A and B are shown apart, each in its own frame.
Chain A
Amino acid sequence: MRRWWTVPVTLCALAVLAMAVVAALRAGGLVALPGDVPVEARELVERTAAALDTVAVRGTVVTRALTPHGLVTTRAEVHRGDGRVVVRYLAGPAQGTTIYRDGDAVWARGPRGGLRRQAQLGDGWSAELLERNWQFTIVGRRRVAARPTIVFSGRGPGGSLTVAADRATWFPLSLERRDSAGETITATTWQIADFSVAPPPPPEPPPAGHGPPRGERRRIALADLQEAFEAGAHDFTLLEPTWLPPGFELEGWYLHEGPGGVMVEARCTDGLRALLVLQRSAAAPEPPGGGPAHRPGGRGMGRGGGAMRGQAGMGYAPMMHLRGAGGHAVRRVIGDTAATVIGPIRAEDLERVANDLQPSS
């Protein structure tokens, strides 16, 4: 006569047994689980990145991005090729806006053609870090924009990246980034893709000195930065990260100088993502869009900013969690320095980076 507990105990024992069998077979190379096919990160990323740079394609995309307005979904017309990209948004907060990218220069024009914003992209990405930190696996195939694609997925310290690459051209017809909590940061999927087009003609770049300032940003050696701070060139204390999440490394230091004052950027990367430590004087006004004057409701950084400034020189101010472009951020005032740590990683990790900032010496 079997007792009542026979069935559950049996099932548990069999579960353990099944795990052992699977483990043994996997160790012997007999069974590969789906989504478990490791591939060369470099080959996949290089081929796809090269296609992204060179392949001429025109069509429509559905794109999602974490913006200050939350996760926004919109449609856009895209024409790209030969290092140039033109994106015109058909809906959403950027409706009517066109983004131009020509090599490293990007700028946005409003519906009536006015220059809204411009920036210079840089480099600072390392293939070695990518290979060390990101595991890529082929997860299957699917049709995107009526074309067969290969779907591969990369997992790194800062989250994941899923790509559906066109089998004929390697162009990524779908790209999705998630943070390590699985939340979507950005996602774009092509709905219609015409690969028979010519690349877009070179767009007219904004004339120099026109429109909003481009914020001068230059790479600087830590020693030079320390020297300037020791000489009293800036009214805050330079902080250095002493802990970074596994897989992230300090890529370099940058100095931003503009009408809003001086900002120091310590840029860290895991090979595919950026984790930034931004520092400025706790006494300086917040950058445009973030201060109380720009947020009449007293929400967001405005509220914390005031409280933090009041505590300048008094040690740690309460931590603030923020969500916006490209992931999460925490901000705190340490002495006379307002530090913002921003990146697509877990909040606990951002917090630890912020907590472990130390005066540079």
Chain B
Amino acid sequence: MNCAQVRDSLAEYQLGGLSAEERRGVAQHLEDCADCRAELAALERLDELLTPAERVRAPADMWSRIQPRLRRRRAPWWQGLLASPRPAIAAAAAMLLAVAGIWLTTRGPATTIETEALASGYQEQQIVAQWSSPLADDAALGLMFASLNGDVVEP
């Protein structure tokens, strides 16, 4: 396998998605090729970033550690609730409320705009400016460009 072939299958390799034969080929190449090893390391680094789910899961004993502290603070009216078999439901509801609260407070007001088509001369400038940016979407900007009014009639 050459570098290009290996790079092409590196992501699948890392995810464990290749056939045994392909895996051997990639592994063999990696032994000899520092560049491809670096590429694999970069993918693995990204993978660490990609798996926040594991870190999101609260530790299994979180609630049992929090609970005694709450009790010490002595707040009788919810003590019974915590002691009841419903803390998980209550916690879930609380989390929902918390998430809803965050969601509601971080969402800006919706913008409603009465809009109409804009003169193509101005639009073209905007398309050109946007097309000059990094990560320009050629297909979408080309579609806008081609849809502008005022085209010259074809010969």
Measured CB to CB, the residues of A under 8 A from B are: 2, 6, 9-19, 21-22, 25, 31-37, 39, 45-46, 48-49, 52, 61, 63-69, 72, 74, 76, 78, 80, 85, 87, 89, 92-94, 97, 99, 101, 104, 106, 108, 110, 112-117, 119-125, 130, 138, 140-141, 147-148, 150, 161, 163, 167-169, 172, 175, 177, 180-181, 186-188, 195, 211-212, 215, 256, 260, 263, 265, 267, 269, 272-274, 276, 278, 286-291, 294, 299-301, 320-329, 340, 342-343, 346-348
Contact = CB atoms under 8 A, between A and B. Distances in A.
Contacts of B55: 31-32
Nearest to A260: B121
Given A32-B56, A74-B143, 18 more contacts: A14-B94, A15-B94, A31-B55, A63-B139, A67-B147, A69-B117, A106-B145, A117-B124, A124-B129, A148-B12, A168-B9, A175-B135, A187-B140, A276-B126, A288-B150, A289-B148, A300-B116, A347-B111
B87 to A, nearest CB: 9
Nearest to A70: B117
Contacts of A294: 149-150
A184 B108 CA distance: 17
A265 B125 contact: yes
A141 B50 contact: yes
Interface string B72-111: 0000011011000000001101110110011000001011
Interface in B15-48: 15, 17, 43, 46
25 contacts: A10-B77, A15-B95, A22-B98, A35-B52, A65-B140, A67-B147, A68-B148, A68-B149, A76-B143, A80-B138, A87-B138, A94-B147, A99-B139, A99-B142, A108-B146, A123-B132, A188-B137, A188-B140, A256-B125, A273-B130, A274-B133, A287-B122, A322-B115, A325-B144, A342-B126
B55 to A, nearest CB: 5
Contacts of A119: 124, 127-128, 131, 145
A48 B116 contact: no
User: Looking at chain A's contact residues, is the secondary structure mostly helix, strand, loop, or mixed?
Assistant: mixed
**Residue among A52, A169, A322, A325 having the largest count of chain B Cβ atoms under 10 Å:** A325
Given A18-B95, A289-B120, A99 B144 contact: no
A104 B137 CA distance: 14
B61 interface: no
A292 B34 CA distance: 65
Contact of B144 (A2, A11, A31, A67): A67
Contacts of B142: 76, 85, 87, 89, 94, 99, 101, 106, 108
A124 B131 CA distance: 11
User: Looking at chain B's contact residues, is the secondary structure mostly helix, strand, loop, or mixed?
Assistant: helix
A34 B43 CA distance: 19
A327 B126 contact: yes
Contacts of B52: 32-37
Contact of B146 (A97, A112, A187): A97
A212 B152 contact: yes
Contacts of A110: 151, 154
A256 to B, nearest CB: 8
A29 to B, nearest CB: 10
B147 A11 contact: no
Given A212-B151, A287-B121, A326 B127 contact: yes
A117 B148 contact: yes
Contacts of B70: 17
A39 B123 contact: no
